[in-house]
Chains A and B, each alone.
Chain A
Amino acid sequence: MVELHILLFFMIIGAIIAIEAKDLLSAVVAVGAAGLALSIAFLVLKAPDLAITQLVVEILCLIILIRATLKVDLPFSTSGRWLFNTLAVFVFLIIFLAFGYFALKELPSFGSPIMRVSQFYLEKAKELTGATNLVGSVILNFRAYDTLGEATVLFTAVIGVMAIMRRKGRKKVTDQEEPDEL
């Protein structure tokens, strides 16, 4: 458990640096460090499927974020209405912590899950589905509805991005050829 706590502290430090850094690129790199530590934490908790997916998605997000922050000088302001913002943050933090205290008391403790449904999967999944990766057999056979919903969510997201950022219908400002610095 020691290595997990070290990783959690590393992630917290990375998140704080990401918030406090003045430079946007440094903030993006700090977010990437936190994500990579999360991937190692999944590996420590013996979930290699999640570790692979987290690592790969983190790299993709990092590329997109770096490309989005390097090109555009986004105007971001840190001043103004700080009293209202601080008060709102504290009120919501207290409400969240109060609800979390009552909700987390009911959960089974860390590392000792209630093995009611998952025991059935562990015993029967190999002969029922023929797959030896039990995660794959759960998400694509026993719980395939969830995967269909997830695929629908991704499809809707892609359609939304393509519809908002399409070339047709955008206002043409200048037709001059900009140098391609991709």
Chain B
Amino acid sequence: MNYNSPHKGMTLIVKTITRITVGLILLYGIYITLHGHVSPGGGFAGGVIIALSFIHLMLAFGKEEALRRLPKPLVSLFESLGAILFFTIAILGFVGGYFFLDWLNKGEPFKLFSAGSILLSNIAIAIKVSFGLFGIFLVLVLLKFTPKK
């Protein structure tokens, strides 16, 4: 647990600022996702902000620290899980009649728990997008080009 080792990642200033801001960025992504049905935003934008918070952590602390917290198999697992979750919401429409039918209780407008399956779909898309884009960044970082002489 030597966060401040000078050999990995960026300088001490960047690491200190990152430790404060990364949680706020993650929280903002979750807020954008959960309020996708009452205010502008939604699953895709929230998911990209969550992915940016992971990338922020990775750029500041180096890839070993990020890979220790979020190993690559876990990223792949969550990415697939998000896709399956969204498809399951679509399949569950058959309970009421047809594909993608929203048979949940609509609730009253402007409340957090309203709008039936839109909230659940937003969460599923956010999981999928965040871990998918972070996976792409992770793979691009781990790839080492060998320049041809």
Q: Which residues of A contact B (CB under 8 A)?
A: 48-49, 51-53, 56-57, 59-60, 63-64, 67-68, 71-73, 126, 129-133, 135-137, 139-141, 144-145, 147-148, 151-152, 154-155, 157-158, 161-162, 165-167, 173, 178, 180, 182
Contact = CB atoms under 8 A, between A and B. Distances in A.
Interface in B89-104: 90, 100, 102
Nearest to B62: A182
9 closest cross-chain pairs (CB), A and B = A130-B106, A48-B40, A131-B115, A131-B37, A130-B115, A158-B132, A144-B100, A56-B48, A53-B45
Contact of B132 (A53, A126, A141, A155): A155
Interface of B: 7-9, 32, 36-45, 48-49, 51-52, 55, 58-59, 62-64, 76, 79, 83, 86-87, 90, 100, 102, 106-110, 114-118, 121-122, 125, 128-129, 132-133, 135-137, 139-147
Looking at chain B's contact residues, the main secondary structure is helix
10 contacts: A130-B107, A130-B114, A133-B36, A136-B37, A151-B125, A155-B128, A157-B132, A158-B133, A158-B135, A182-B59
Contact of A158 (B79, B90, B106, B143): B79
B114 A145 contact: no
A167 B142 CA distance: 8
A53 B9 contact: no
Given A133-B38, A133-B39, A52 B109 contact: no
A56 B145 CA distance: 28
Among B44, B110, B133, B146, max chain A CB count under 10 A is at: B44
Given A56-B52, A148-B87, 11 more contacts: A72-B145, A129-B116, A130-B108, A130-B109, A131-B118, A132-B37, A135-B42, A136-B42, A144-B100, A167-B142, A180-B64
A109 B92 CA distance: 41
A180 B38 contact: no
A45 to B, nearest CB: 13
B45 A56 contact: yes
Contacts of A131: 37-38, 109, 114-115, 118
A52 B36 CA distance: 12
Given A133-B39, A147-B121, A178-B144, A141 B102 contact: yes
B14 to A, nearest CB: 12
Given A60-B55, A73-B147, A162-B76, A133 B37 contact: yes
A161 B136 contact: yes
Nearest to A172: B146
B42 to A, nearest CB: 5
A132 B110 contact: yes
B117 A140 contact: yes
A137 B40 contact: no
Contact of A162 (B9, B43, B135): B135
